[in-house]
């Protein structure tokens, strides 16, 4: 038995089980699509960890370098008693902040929240070794549906939403989610939001079309996930992955293109899908931000930007925000990388 509780609000397959309507809607649309959260079944989560180590995939190492630089200062100023991390994955980068809070003896509790139970469990096993005196409490759920089920705070709270996962949501959805996150913040509490920044298109497209083909495997895996969960018969080998940048909407769009015309049966939905040769299924968007667009988005969601952290190339940005009217410290207005 692990020495930490894990609240399970959905099983590993629960996400896929509960998505019948989303899959039906997505595969009936003129531009077929599947939602990005379906990419993270057990296999998908493992593949994403490999993506974070690819030479072309700059976001993880850039965000890690910023977090490494700011950890002591940030954790000293905010001094949270607990960190709730949404879409926590392996919690690898988070360790910079956990180390700082643990060593300062201010941080007592960490709550990783993710759709993937396997990844949260393995992260907690490692974290327990690293921080024997810290309380761990895993939450398995969908942050678009289960935020209200996060255990009540034990003190000052820092909500972490890093990895640019916010960029996978459409503007309306991310506004709704930020509004829900706002409700989790009491006076003195903060949100730290990580966002990939608008940059050279060559750099962006290379990051999502890596030479080793790991992103392709990650993307294609969503078809296997649907096959497993809904008894479908996608012929995965007959699709190929391609990501391109949409300059008008500042986002990477990942698609799976059919190499040949296909008829796919989804038994659990009693559904047949016709896919033409070269037609695509849109599997993920990854929106890119600037400091201005990030500030406007936070503002619209009832949050105030207190500090903005970036790297020397301005490849990645981390916004520290508070709920409007509940400012952390009026004198705190940091800016790195200027
Ligand atoms: C882009 S990865 C980022 C992982 C990690 N935070 C990092 O920075 O490397 C997105 C993470 O969010 C999780 N995720 C995606 N959609 C989710 C949702 N709707 N609810 C909860 N977790 C979700 C995935 O399982 C995955 O671990």
Q: Is 176 in the pocket of ligand 1 (CB under 6 A)?
A: no
Cα–Cα distance measured from residue 194 to residue 199, given in angstroms and rounded to the nearest whole number: 16
Atom 20 in ligand 1: which residue has the minimum CA distance?
Answer: 142
Beta bridge partners of 193: 161, 319
pTM reported for the whole predicted model: 0.93
Are 171 and 240 in the same domain? no
Give pLDDT < 50 ranges for the chain. Answer: 1, 330-338
Sheet holding 239-246, edge to edge: 32-33, 280-287, 251-258, 239-246
Are 125 and 175 in the same domain? yes
Beta-strand relationship, 6-8 and 138-140:
parallel
State how many domains the chain has: 2
C-alpha 50 – ligand 1 centre gap (Å) = 14
> Residue 306 belongs to a domain with what CATH number?
3.40.50.150
pLDDT at 21: 86
pLDDT at 10: 80
Q: Name the residue range of residue 33's domain.
A: 6-38+210-287
Q: Is 255 in the pocket of ligand 1 (CB under 6 A)?
A: no
pLDDT at 166: 98
Are 109 and 193 in the same domain? yes
Cα–Cα distance measured from residue 292 to residue 269, given in angstroms and rounded to the nearest whole number: 43
Q: Is 112 in the pocket of ligand 1 (CB under 6 A)?
A: no
Are 108 and 240 in the same domain? no
pLDDT at 58: 98
Tell me if residue 288 falls in helix, strand or coil. Answer: coil
Are 275 and 298 in the same domain? no
pLDDT at 336: 40
Q: Is 253 in the pocket of ligand 1 (CB under 6 A)?
A: no
C-alpha 45 – ligand 1 centre gap (Å) = 9
Atom 23 in ligand 1: which residue has the minimum CA distance?
Answer: 87
pLDDT at 19: 79
pLDDT at 34: 97
Atom 13 in ligand 1: which residue has the minimum CA distance?
Answer: 87
C-alpha 168 – ligand 1 centre gap (Å) = 10
47 in a domain, yes or no? no
219 in a domain, yes or no? yes
Sign of the CA dihedral with 289 first, then 292, 295, and 298 last: negative
Q: Is 110 in the pocket of ligand 1 (CB under 6 A)?
A: no
Contact call for residues 159 and 109 (beta carbons, < 8 A): no
Are 328 and 194 in the same domain? yes
Cα–Cα distance list, 183 to 157, 217, 250, 283 (Å) = 12, 37, 28, 30
């Amino acid at each position: 038995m692990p020495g930490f509780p894990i609240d399970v609000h959905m099983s590993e397959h629960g996400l896929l089980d509960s998505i019948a309507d989303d899959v039906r809607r997505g595969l009936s649309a003129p531009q077929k699509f599947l939602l990005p959260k379906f990419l993270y079944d057990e296999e998908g989560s493992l593949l994403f960890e490999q993506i974070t180590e690819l030479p072309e995939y700059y976001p993880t190492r850039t965000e890690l370098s910023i977090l490494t630089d700011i950890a002591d200062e940030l954790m000293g100023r905010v001094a949270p008693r607990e960190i709730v991390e949404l879409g926590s994955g392996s919690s690898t980068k988070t360790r910079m902040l956990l180390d700082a809070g643990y060593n300062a003896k201010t941080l007592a509790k960490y709550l990783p929240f993710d759709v993937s139970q396997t990844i949260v469990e393995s992260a907690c096993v490692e974290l327990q070794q690293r921080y024997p005196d810290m309380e761990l409490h895993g939450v398995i759920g969908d942050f678009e549906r289960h935020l209200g089920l996060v255990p009540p705070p034990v003190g000052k709270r820092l909500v972490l939403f890093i990895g640019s996962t916010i960029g996978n949501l459409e503007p309306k959805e991310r506004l709704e989610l930020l509004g829900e996150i706002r409700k989790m913040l009491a006076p003195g509490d903060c949100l730290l939001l990580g966002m990939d920044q608008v940059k050279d298109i060559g750099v962006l497209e290379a990051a999502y079309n890596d030479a080793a083909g790991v992103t392709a495997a990650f993307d294609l895996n969503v078809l296997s996930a649907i096959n497993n969960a809904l008894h479908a018969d996608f012929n995965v080998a007959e699709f190929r992955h391609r990501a391109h940048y949409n300059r008008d909407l500042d986002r990477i769009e990942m698609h799976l293109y059919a190499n040949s015309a296909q008829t796919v049966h989804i038994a659990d939905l009693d559904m047949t899908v016709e896919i033409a040769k070269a037609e695509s299924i849109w599997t993920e968007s990854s929106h890119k931000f600037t400091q201005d667009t990030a500030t406007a988005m936070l503002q619209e969601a009832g949050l105030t930007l207190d500090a903005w952290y970036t790297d020397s190339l301005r490849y990645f940005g981390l916004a520290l925000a508070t709920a409007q009217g509940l400012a952390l410290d009026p004198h705190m207005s940091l800016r790195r990388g200027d």
